[in-house]
Structure 1
Amino acid sequence: MEYFLLILSIALLLIGLIGSVLPGLPGLPLSWFGLLSLYFVEGVSVSGYLLWATAVITIAITILDYVIPSVGTKRFGGSSYGVWGTNIGLVVGLIAPIPFGFIIGPFLGAFIGEIIYKSDDLSRAFKAAVGSFIGFLASTFMKVFAGIVFFGLGVFIMIKNYAVWFGN
């Protein structure tokens, strides 16, 4: 059972790291479940505090991942129409079979939302769409950074406890 949990942990940490970049995969939650599966490996010491801290970080970053592009739109002068367009564009971009729809969707959504709000101000609409894109990049960076940290924690825990698995 320990070997199964160990392999599951490695797989979840790797898939979680990949999912931090790819849409449709809940990257950080998968990475957290990788750390959790290490907790259940017999003889491995994983702190409960570490699990709680990483769970809080996972929840916070997952929420911020949906909020930051909207904040970027608002920060760059977008209206509530642009914010709604960003959110709708993100959802449509995730489910649309368009390459890089998760990037294009929020940008186009914010742009279209601002055009609906003020059809004569294309520069404002474009500026709001750029804000949405910058927000998307910021949230992606945050997820990737946390995914790398979680992966590093998992590897550190595994290296620290390798003697348990290999009987050395």
Structure 2
Amino acid sequence: MDILLLTLGFACVVTGLFGSFLPILPGPSVSWVGLALLYFTKAVPANYWILGIAFLITVMISVLDYVIPAKGTKKFGGSSYGIWGTNIGLIIGILAPVPFGFIIGPFVGALIGELIYDFKDHNRALKAAAGSFAGFLASSFMKFVVCIMYLGLFVWIVWNYKSQLF
């Protein structure tokens, strides 16, 4: 049973790593589940401090994942129309069967939202859309770093308890 939990946990951590770039998968959340599965084994004693701190980091990153692209839009001169466009574009981009829709969606959504707000100022709309894209990249990078940390923590724990696991 321990080997099954170890395998499932590792699969979750690796899937979470890919999920840090693909918005379809909640990367840090899936990685955290992988860490939690590791602590369900009989060989690894439960450390609620590590799981609790990792859970809080996961919740913060998950919230920031939605906030950062909108803040990027606002930072680059976007209005609330651009922020709403970013969020709607992200959802449509995830659901649309378009390659890289999760990247294109927030950009196009912010652009359309800003053009609805002020059709005459194309430069400002383009800057706001670029801010949305920059926010998406920053958010993805943050999620990737957290998932790499969870992978490192997973490997470190397995390494320390390898004699009991195998």
Q: TM-score over 0.5 for the alignment? A: yes
Contact 1:9–1:38 (CA<8 Å) still a contact in 2?
A: yes
> What is the TM-score with the length of structure 1 in the denominator?
0.97
Task: Give the gaps of 5 or more residues in structure 1.
Answer: none
1:12-161 mapped onto 2 (5 Å cutoff): 12-161=12-161
- CA distance, structure 2, for counterparts of residue 82 and residue 21 of structure 1: 22
The residue matched to 2:120 in structure 1 has which SS?
Answer: coil
Counterpart of 2:76, as a letter, is F
Contact 1:46–1:157 (CA<8 Å) still a contact in 2?
A: no
The residue matched to 1:42 in structure 2 has which SS?
Answer: coil
The residue matched to 2:81 in structure 1 has which SS?
Answer: helix
Cα offset for 1:92? 0.3
The 4+ residue runs of structure 1 with deviation greater than 6 A are: none
- CA distance, structure 2, for counterparts of residue 72 and residue 165 of structure 1: 45
The residue matched to 2:25 in structure 1 has which SS?
Answer: coil
Cα offset for 1:46? 4.3
Cα offset for 1:45? 2.9
Question: Identity over the aligned pairs, expressed in percent?
Answer: 55
- CA distance, structure 2, for counterparts of residue 132 and residue 13 of structure 1: 28
- Report the equivalent of 1:8: 8
Cα offset for 1:43? 2.0
When the two chains are superposed, the root-mean-square deviation of aligned CA atoms in Å is 0.8
- CA distance, structure 2, for counterparts of residue 91 and residue 71 of structure 1: 17
Cα offset for 1:3? 1.2
